């Protein structure tokens, strides 16, 4: 039975990866007007790692259900608050978090429910969590890192509660323009990510505190944010950087992505 379940899981993840990369190739070819071959090659180079990353996320999901392991700040000179993406939980950050600890940073992870949640309530919960973190750590600089939907949630929370102790915001694969895969999200928070929809367009108008340095990292092989042009924030005062080709989920495990985020966080103001 266990073998069957494992094979079923691998098969399901493989099918999802195949479908999303098929849509990626179709969408990017139409959007760019370029031949299909380069996009097929990029998909081929990143698909296997995508499957592996998805399986790791699924395997670590139960670990992320242990609130005390993630939500309380760990020791470190500066504190990095991590916010996961849709359908994930704090367990998705395990490698990224470990690397931050190795560099002397403390971490704290915010957890939200992807299903049955409303946008406004989730943003309010994150805003409250950040306020508590700042109150309990008055002498520690705070940095924010969000993956996918987590980046949009941090944008909203930061606009509502600016604080001079928040130094940087880094987003990984965040769908600033939404995604054409949003209809498949059904009743989850993903329904707010309609491509060029009301919510993402409203978030785009929110102010960013002038004293917060902001970076948007995006992959040219992202298979969940379609079209990939929706990954570009286009916000004044923000820096945008392309990473090496990795899938949407594999950004969480990529050393290149981590190094770019780390460099930004460490950069003097």
**Mean pLDDT, contiguous 10-residue spans, the chain (269 residues):** 76 92 96 93 94 92 87 95 97 97 97 95 97 94 98 96 93 98 91 97 94 97 97 94 98 98 91
Q: How far apart are CA 43 and CA 221, in angstroms?
A: 7
Work out the end-to-end distance of the chain between its first and last CA atoms, rounded to an integer number of angstroms: 55
CB contact at 8 A, 261 and 172: yes
State pTM to two decimals. Answer: 0.96
Q: Cis bond leading into 227, ω under 30°? A: yes
* pLDDT recorded at residue 146: 98
* pLDDT recorded at residue 68: 81
Token pair listed for 66? 């242990």
* pLDDT recorded at residue 8: 78
* pLDDT recorded at residue 74: 96
Token pair listed for 254? 């990529």
* pLDDT recorded at residue 82: 98
* pLDDT recorded at residue 96: 98
Phi–psi pair at 2, nearest 5 degrees: -65, -40
Q: Cα–Cα distances in Å, from 256 out to 60, 132, 171, 252, 266?
A: 22, 32, 14, 10, 15
* pLDDT recorded at residue 238: 96
């Amino acid at each position: 039975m266990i073998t069957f379940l494992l094979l079923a899981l691998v098969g399901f993840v493989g099918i999802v990866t195949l479908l999303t990369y098929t849509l990626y190739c179709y969408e990017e070819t139409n959007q760019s007007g370029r031949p299909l071959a380069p996009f097929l090659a990029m998909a081929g180079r990143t698909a296997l790692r995508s499957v592996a990353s998805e399986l790791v996320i699924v395997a670590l999901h139960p670990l992320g259900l242990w609130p005390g392991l993630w939500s309380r700040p760990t020791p470190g000179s500066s504190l990095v608050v991590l916010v996961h993406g849709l359908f994930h939980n704090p367990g998705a950050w395990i490698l990224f978090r470990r690397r931050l600890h190795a560099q002397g940073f403390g971490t704290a992870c915010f957890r939200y429910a992807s299903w049955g949640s409303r946008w406004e309530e989730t943003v309010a919960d994150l805003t409250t969590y950040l306020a508590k973190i700042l109150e309990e750590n008055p002498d520690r600089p705070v940095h924010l890192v969000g993956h996918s939907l987590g980046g949009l949630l941090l944008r909203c929370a930061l606009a509502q509660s600016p604080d001079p102790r928040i130094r940087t915001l880094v987003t990984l694969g965040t769908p600033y323009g939404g995604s054409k895969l949003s209809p498949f999200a059904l009743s989850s928070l993903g329904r707010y990510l309609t491509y060029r929809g009301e919510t993402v367009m409203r978030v785009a108008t929110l102010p960013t505190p002038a004293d917060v340095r902001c970076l948007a990292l995006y992959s040219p092989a992202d298979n969940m944010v379609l079209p990939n042009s929706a990954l570009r924030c286009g916000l004044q005062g923000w820096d945008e950087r392309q990473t090496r080709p990795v899938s949407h989920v594999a950004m969480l495990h990529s050393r290149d992505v981590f190094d770019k985020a780390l460099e930004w966080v460490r950069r003097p103001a």
